[in-house]
Amino acid sequence: MVNPSTVHYDISPRHFRELVHQLAPQSILTVGHQRSVELSGATGLLEGPSDFLCTNFSEYKPNPTLDEVRQGLELVNAVKPDLIIAVGGGSAIDVAKMLTVCGSPAAFNMNDVLACGKAPHRESKPRLIAIPTTAGTGSEATHFATIYHAGKKYSISSPQMIPDHVILNAQLTASMPPYVAGCTGLDALAHGIESYWSVSSTEESSRNSTEAITRLLRYLPIVAQTDSLDARREVLLGAHYAGRAINLTKTTAPHAVSYALTSRLGLAHGHAVFLTLPWFLEFNNDVTSASLADKRGIAHVKERMQNIFQMLGCDSAATARDSAIAFAESVGVRLVPLPVHVDAEPMISELAGAFDLTRAGNNPRVCTVEEVSGMLSSLLRPSLLIESADSDRGQGIIP
């Protein structure tokens, strides 16, 4: 899936207005929470299109549900937008993608869309502009959206979900609280690393994932320690490259484990993904002919892993694991051992049982539920209270 978006960097309000005028819309639907739009400073950008009929939709929460999308589709039916502008994190952009490709509520049977994971092609659809205000999900670069229904997570794809225009404005990410910035950055880094070792990796995806990994490793710690706008720009761009990479490959085992960690423990998405990623650096490197999932062979997987270790500044799997854990700490996310406040054994069985085997199918080494269970036993420690209970944690959960 080649990404045809036009990307605009640090666009000024004047240029944004010009862009909107060039698209000549009659009705604009913005998708984004007023508070985050204001906090992010995007209000200035949205003042431009006020000459047009302009309606806002914000009736959704993190991890948006099918019911919320249906509510948005009612509004789409009423105002018939020919331009949709998403401002926010992954949830805002995912909702906007669904509204863009699904049209009016009567256009498709939404249960069918969820069941097959694909939105049917539309002859004509609104143009879509995506303006991320977090640097992590890369949702502005992918052709899929995550929606929840009846407690289950669904990934819906359509080539028409790729935004026509993406605006990367580093200033908009400056309002992220430090823990959210750390978690979303680690999510982006995981996208880059997982895409690089994915069985579906290609030359193009590898170029994108390498751009992402090198940028994020260099600039995320600077964002954690300073107010540097230049570093934020590089992190936003790194997250975008990572989004382009997973647009081609999708994610792998760390993401497959993470969803239950988020829903069961309330762990922020990036924290949940990166909790197990260092463990998978060793696990994937120890691939054998019996556990090989990548048709390109053991030597190919080993070479990929070695390249990742080098990018981490390491020469072995063990040092790369320790380096990844230390890196997460350097951006404000302490990984292991993760204290949990419940009896660990039944919970670990439940978490391992929820392992997303479809997503794990992209992993270069076959990973069983038993192996996930063993890994979680070594990472979770029954004790006191979950440390993620402070006010920032749990925010910024990105599907």
Segment near Fe ion (CB under 5 A); pick from 26-34, 169-177, 181-189, 196-204 = 181-189
All residues at 6 or more sequence positions from 35 whose CB lies less than 8 Å from its CB, including other chains: none
Integer distance in angstroms from the first to the last C-alpha of the chain? 20
Judged by beta carbon, residue 127 or residue 240, the one nearer Fe ion is: 240
Judged by beta carbon, residue 94 or residue 187, the one nearer Fe ion is: 187
Judged by beta carbon, residue 54 or residue 248, the one nearer Fe ion is: 248
Write down the least CB distance from residue 265 to Fe ion, Å: 16
Restricting to residues 44-63, name those near Fe ion by CB under 5 A.
none
Q: Return the SS3 of 8.
A: strand
Judged by beta carbon, residue 164 or residue 187, the one nearer Fe ion is: 187
The candidate with the shortest Cα–Cα distance to 209, out of 189, 197, 194, 192, is 192
Restricting to residues 183-202, name those near Fe ion by CB under 5 A.
187
Joined tokens for residue 92: 């805002």
Write down the least CB distance from residue 358 to Fe ion, Å: 15
Mark residues 138-177: x for contact with Fe ion by CB under 5 A, - for none. Answer: ----------------------------------------
Q: Measured between alpha carbons, how far is 45 from 58 in angstroms, rounded to an integer?
A: 17
Restricting to residues 373-392, name those near Fe ion by CB under 5 A.
none
Judged by beta carbon, residue 314 or residue 324, the one nearer Fe ion is: 324
> Per CB under 5 A, does 234 bind Fe ion?
no
Q: Measured between alpha carbons, how far is 380 from 393 in angstroms, rounded to an integer?
A: 18
Write down the least CB distance from residue 240 to Fe ion, Å: 14
Judged by beta carbon, residue 81 or residue 89, the one nearer Fe ion is: 89
Restricting to residues 102-141, name those near Fe ion by CB under 5 A.
none
Judged by beta carbon, residue 187 or residue 234, the one nearer Fe ion is: 187
Write down the least CB distance from residue 288 to Fe ion, Å: 28
Residue 30 carries which side chain, given as an amino acid letter?
A: T
Judged by beta carbon, residue 29 or residue 242, the one nearer Fe ion is: 242
Q: Measured between alpha carbons, how far is 301 from 296 in angstroms, rounded to an integer?
A: 8
Judged by beta carbon, residue 242 or residue 375, the one nearer Fe ion is: 242
Whether 181 contacts 224, CB under 8 Å: yes
* Position with the least CB separation from Fe ion: 187
* Cis preceding-peptide flag for 337 (omega within 30 of 0): yes
Residue 312 DSSP code: T
Write down the least CB distance from residue 294 to Fe ion, Å: 21
The candidate with the shortest Cα–Cα distance to 330, out of 209, 219, 211, is 219
**How many CA atoms does the CB half-sphere of 133 hold within 13 Å?**
27
Write down the least CB distance from residue 187 to Fe ion, Å: 4
Count of residues that interact with Fe ion, criterion CB under 5 A:
1
Write down the least CB distance from residue 290 to Fe ion, Å: 29
- Strands 27-31 and 83-88, sheet pairing: parallel
Write down the least CB distance from residue 398 to Fe ion, Å: 6
* Phi/psi-derived region of residue 29, left when phi > 0, alpha when psi is between -120 and 50, beta in every other case: beta
The residue behind tokens 């995912």 is 94
Q: Give burial (CB, 10 Å; 0-12/13-18/19+) of 161.
A: buried
Q: Measured between alpha carbons, how far is 396 from 179 in angstroms, rounded to an integer?
A: 9
Judged by beta carbon, residue 11 or residue 189, the one nearer Fe ion is: 189
Write down the least CB distance from residue 395 to Fe ion, Å: 15
Write down the least CB distance from residue 269 to Fe ion, Å: 6
Whether 331 contacts 186, CB under 8 Å: yes
- Strands 127-132 and 152-157, sheet pairing: unpaired
Residues that bind Fe ion (CB under 5 A): 187
